[in-house]
Amino acid sequence: MRRTLRTLDALAPPLAARLALSIFRTPRRKQRDQRDHAVMETAQSVTIRHDAMPLAGYVWGSGPMVLLAHGWESQASRLSNFVAPLVGQGYRVVAFDGPAHGASPGKRSDLVDYGRAVAAALTQLGPATAVIAHSFGGMATLQALSVLPAVSIKRAVLLASPADLHFIIGGFAQTLDLPARTVRGMKRLIVRRFGRSLEDYSAAVTAASLAVAGLVVHDRDDEVVPFDQGEAIAGAWAGAKLVATTGLGHRGILRDPTVIEQVVDFIAAPTR
C-alpha cells in the first residue's frame, strides 16, 4: 500500500489523497479481549439508532446514566473494568460499539461520525450524568457535548485522549510514510468534507467552551498519544484536573485499579 500511494502521489496526486483518506477512515476490527467476556455477557443488549445504522449497545445496572466511549479500532468491551465499580455506586452504565467498530455495522467512520454516534447514545438512552471516554472516543465525546443543545452531563473523564486532529493525521501519515503532498491533499479533503477547519476539531479548543467538570487522565509513558496531548486538553479546560500516571501506557490505563477508583470517585463525588 505504501508503494501504491507513492506511485499515485507522483502520477495522480488527487487520487492519492482520496485513497489515503479512505484508508484513514477505515478502522481495523479487533477481537474482544478474553478478559472482558464475563462482563459483556452480563449486559442487556440495546440498539442505538445512528443515521440509518443500528449500533450495538450494552447496559448494566440502574440509576443515573454514565456513558462509556471507546477509542479508534477498539470496542465497548475495552472499558468493561469500569462497569462493576460504577454499578456498585448506583449508576446505570451504557456502552456501545461505534460505527464500523465491534459488533456495529459499517466500514468507515471519522471524528464527526463518531461524535454524532456519541450524541445519539446520549439523547436516546439518556439523560446521562457523566461520560468516560478513551483515546479517540474522548475527542468524539467533546464534539458531541459541544453541539448538543441541552445536555445533563455534569462530569466528563478523558483517558489518554489526543488533543489535536493534526496530531492524529500526522501519526497516520508517519505509519504509511505518506508523501507531504498526499497529506496536504488529505487535509484539504477533510476540511471540504466537514465544512470546518481542522483546528475547529481540536479537543483543547472544544474543551475550553464546555461548562462541564473535567478529569483528564494520561500516562507519561503513553506510546500512542503523548502526555503533552493530555496536558493541552487539561490546560484549556477551565477547572479540569489532570492526573498523570506512569508505566501504564495507552491501554493499560483502562485496567489500572487506582485509575478506575479515581475516575469512579470523581463521578460519584457530591456536586458543589
What is the DSSP code (8-state) at residue 149?
S
Q: Average the pLDDT over 178-182 and give the result.
A: 95
The grid coordinates listed for 54 are 443500528
Q: Average the pLDDT over 210-220 and give the result.
A: 95
Q: Average the pLDDT over 177-195 and give the result.
A: 94
Nearest-CA neighbor of 175 among 2, 8, 10? Answer: 2
Average pLDDT of the chain?
Answer: 94
Distance CA 11, CA 33 (A): 42
Distance CA 14, CA 34 (A): 42
Q: Average the pLDDT over 89-98 and give the result.
A: 98
The DSSP result for 59-85, as a single string, is EESSSSEEEEE--TT--GGGGGGGHHH
Nearest-CA neighbor of 113 among 26, 176, 43, 29? Answer: 26
pLDDT confidence bin for 239, thresholds 50/70/90: confident
Domains of the chain: 31-164+202-268 (3.40.50.1820)
